[in-house]
Amino acid sequence: MVMVDGKGVPVSAFVTSAQVAEVNTIETLVDVRQCDGPVKRLIYDRAADADWLRDALQQRDIELVCPHRRGRKRRSRQDGRKLRRYRHRWIVERSISWLFNYRRLQIRHEHYSHLFEGFVTLACLLIVLNRF
């Protein structure tokens, strides 16, 4: 998982196993970020559509911008005005493609997760250095 700022520079990244749901690790992603400034809003895809996550992030003064899943039983928790920010999701996808420019990250060759996480951190560092 990777968290980027508004320009696509990686701010936070960590590795989890494939069995862990993404919605359960979003708060950890916010906790391990490397910047000092506060996070105002978090743009995510439909996988983060959980009311408990919206409430937890709202207590931290973070606005979660993500569309609701299809077939949602409960009433909507956001209006269409906040979803206009979702069109900037391409910045996150571009940053992920920058990470996949490094062949070592496309296919996980490492058996140990700490080695793979080290390569992810190194790739994020190289992206940050290229952006400045």
Which domains, ranges and CATH numbers included, belong to the chain?
A: 2-131 (3.30.420)
pLDDT, averaged across the chain:
82
Q: pLDDT tens-digit profile of 109-128?
A: 888 888 888 898 899 899 98
Minimal CA–CA distance to 3: which of 13, 17, 15, 14? Answer: 13
Structure-token match 């919206």, residue found? 54
Q: pLDDT tens-digit profile of 53-100?
A: 888 888 988 888 887 777 777 766 666 667 777 788 888 888 889 988
